[in-house]
Amino acid sequence: MSLPTRTLGELTVSAQGLGCMGMSQSYGAGNDTESIATIHRALDLGVTLLDTANVYGGGVNEELVGRAIADRRDEVVLATKFGIVWQDGVQTARGDAAYVTQCCDESLARLGVDHIDLYYQHRVDHERVEETWGALAELVEAGKIRYAGISEAGAATIRRAHAVHPVTALQSEWSLWTRDIEPEVAPTCAELGIGIVPFSPLGRGFLTGSITSASQLGEGDMRANLPRFEGDNLAANLRIVETVKALAEKRGVTAGQLALAWVQAKGEHVVPIPGTKRRTYLEQNVEAATLELSAEEITELDAVGAGVVGDRYPEALQRTVGR
């Protein structure tokens, strides 16, 4: 099977990618055997863009992805990230040149590859944007990375980075219930020719309709600590899911497939990376890659997320995104 392709800047990728984080952290216990089988199945289905980061599982996720693609490297557009650090238990960002180079070398070793196709600044060190992007330009020149991207950045920050070295892609959360990038960031990317890679396009699984109670979130599941999944917020947000499910039923698809198709409809430069660690969900997601929505369906879905209740993250983490 071959999926349609789209372009992120000058980089050609499958119209849908695979987020690998949940295979190693945040969503309960992992299973390396099933995760590797999921990555292999993704490649068989024509998914080329695989997404990981140096902090996912403390490097374990990069190692997992590296093992999975060891004999299939030429089929993969490999993306990973750097820049998140913790100080006294608080998440912050680091972007000095020496650290950028160090992180790249460590990721190359964990992944077992000689270059990274798309290397993202995971969170922005706002005091050093120009220094960070100068270092990324040097990594391109050295052949260690092919393209550079940025994650969860505001419009002004994207412009600062792009002025130093071309930003190939922005990775940010974008879904029916997370629309923060639409007023300023998405238009800036369109203006500058920057691709957009939405993570959590299924609202961390919520928009599939599979989560109806916080009691379903097991030990180690980060969603239990996110405001939108707590108590009255969750109850209020279920109205969004019910609407999506009703629209999906009319179309003869799942709620998750409809939610993915909505994100994909935002432009040919938009490549969502739904995350999963199971082949069953992967196959459902990939089926949505060729699902086209009518103008009427898009209008109906546009209105769905307006009533979302609760921030994306707890207060401390919320301050680290969108600047």
Instruction: State the pLDDT at residue 29.
Output: 67
Residue 135, pLDDT > 80, answer yes
In a domain? residue 174: yes
In a domain? residue 321: no
In a domain? residue 236: no
Low-confidence winner among 26-35, 78-87, 142-151 (lowest mean pLDDT): 26-35
Q: Are 176 and 258 in contact (CB under 8 A)?
A: no
Average pLDDT (113-136) is: 98
Domain residues for the domain of 28 are 5-205+256-293
Give residue 176's pLDDT band: very low, low, confident or very high (50, 70, 90): very high
Among all residues, which ones are annotated catalytic? 56
Counted domains in the chain: 1
Residue 322, pLDDT > 80, answer no
Q: Write out pLDDT tens, residues 289-313.
A: 999 999 999 999 998 877 787 787 7
Q: Write out pLDDT tens, residues 224-244.
A: 778 788 888 888 888 888 999
Q: Write out pLDDT tens, residues 13-30.
A: 999 999 999 898 666 667
In a domain? residue 318: no
Average pLDDT (171-175) is: 96
In a domain? residue 219: no
Residue 315, pLDDT > 80, answer no
Give residue 268's pLDDT band: very low, low, confident or very high (50, 70, 90): very high
In a domain? residue 216: no
In a domain? residue 177: yes
Q: Write out pLDDT tens, residues 198-224.
A: 999 998 888 888 787 776 777 667 777
Whole-number mean pLDDT of the chain? Answer: 92
pTM: 0.93
In a domain? residue 135: yes
Low-confidence winner among 37-41, 71-75, 179-183, 228-232 (lowest mean pLDDT): 228-232
192: CATH: 3.20.20.100
